[in-house]
A = this chain, B = another copy of it.
Amino acid sequence: MSQLFASIITIGDELLIGQTIDTNSAWMAQQLNKAGIWLRRRVAVGDLRSEIWQALDEESRQASVVLITGGLGPTADDITKPLLCDYFGGKMIVNEAALENVKQIAAFFKRTLLERNLKQAEVPDVCTVIQNSRGTAPGMWFEKNGVIFVSMPGVPHEMKAMMTDYVIPQLQQRFTLPAVLHRTLITFGMGESFIAERIQEWEQALPAHIKLAYLPNFGMVRLRLTGNGTDAAALSAELDELFDQLKNYMQDVIVTDRDEELEQVLGRLLQERGKTMSTAESCTGGYIAHRITAIPGASAWYKGSVVSYDDAVKRDVLGVSPQTLETDGAVSEAVVRQMVAGVLKATGTDYALAVSGVMGPDGGSAEKPVGTVWMAAGNAEQIIAQKINLRFDRRRNIEITAMQALNFLRKFVEV
């Protein structure tokens, strides 16, 4: 068994002028990694024949599997398919199964079939066709000089179905792949330098086939141990032992020892205790609620939010005192405490979380500059509050506030 190397090529001018963010590559990277395939590089090129051709040449020199996404749509700016036909020396033919698929999709949407839709069923005769269960553009599997090339549409959910249903299983069948295992520890409230300092000796003593990565984000640091080897069971036992040591070192700042989001940790805690929660959001404007409700099944423990962006909503829906709003201002300890009390009452939940702050770029004052945030967490017995000061842009201020607040409630629930 030898290491199998892969490379990803994403095609599209929109990637090079920054009009779209490439989320496909990250997802594909995860799938490859889980399957024990080593992704060496990711390359993005524009809709330019010479650039795509060069990327195919270069990447196939370094990898045995080249995954390609994008450039397969029905419009004139998509040039990939004819190019692949030339590159692999074939000619275009109609694939009957793909044509049937195009016709069925048109029928489902009660749409007329255009010439350019029918063209999507044409493929080079030198590829194995991967049927598209979620769209009209078929995928294509080529082989040349011992290298596998797979071309897939850039539409994320179409590509994902092809990867999961066909590409990964095929690769697993063709190659004997090594085990790649991870252990992830999530910490909150300690900078990466300080963590590195604390575990320096332990980290230096790690064996060569096990690596530690620091992934800081939003005040959290994700510590990821990655090991690879031929004996999955032995590797797993080895990782478990090292992971236990790491947990011992970091005990005081651990959020979770699973690879999960903060809101999932909170949800698990609440479910274990048979409790529910709600939120009252001013400055985060629904972002906390959105993060929570992105989790399937969150309705078991999350009941809702009042996004009181305007003071009138704080007053009329949450029952915050007009006097407090007047004297203390919307960004104040007294107001977030009343928001918690108000949303507990309105929604009838066991716990509640509230935030109010100045996210910028405008709205700051000398007393409460941009980045000033008050948050409160509580239940029927007790409400606690804290102030934080941030110094980022609006988007990041919103994200960090949400994470800090979720962690604030997590600690309150955990006690």
Contacts and interface: CB of A to CB of B under 8 A. Distances in A.
A192 B285 contact: no
Given A43-B43, A211-B77, A307 B309 contact: no
Nearest to A106: B193
Interface string A150-173: 000000110000000000000000
A275 interface: no
Nearest to A62: B54
A132 to B, nearest CB: 13
Contact of A17 (B13, B15, B39, B316): B39
Given A77-B214, A193-B114, A196-B74, A306 B304 contact: yes
Contacts of A226: 13, 17
A35 to B, nearest CB: 12
A292 interface: yes
A19 B224 CA distance: 10
Contacts of A147: none
A362 interface: yes
A175 interface: no
A316 B348 contact: yes
A32 B28 CA distance: 27
A49 B222 CA distance: 23
B45 A44 contact: no
Interface string A21-41: 111011111111100000111
A407 interface: no
A334 interface: no
Contacts of A290: 284-287, 289-290
A393 interface: yes
Number of this chain's copies in the assembly equals: 2
Given A41-B43, A117-B193, A307 B305 contact: yes
Given A73-B214, A299-B309, A313-B347, A29 B41 contact: no
A307 B310 contact: no
Interface in A48-78: 51, 55, 58, 73-77
Which 4 pairs of residues, A with B, have the shortest CB-CB distance? Answer: A285-B293, A286-B289, A18-B29, A286-B286
Interface of A: 13-23, 25-33, 39-46, 51, 55, 58, 73-77, 111, 114, 116-117, 134, 156-157, 191-197, 203-204, 211-217, 222, 224, 226, 278-279, 281, 284-290, 292-294, 296-299, 302-310, 312-313, 316-317, 346-348, 360-362, 391-396, 398
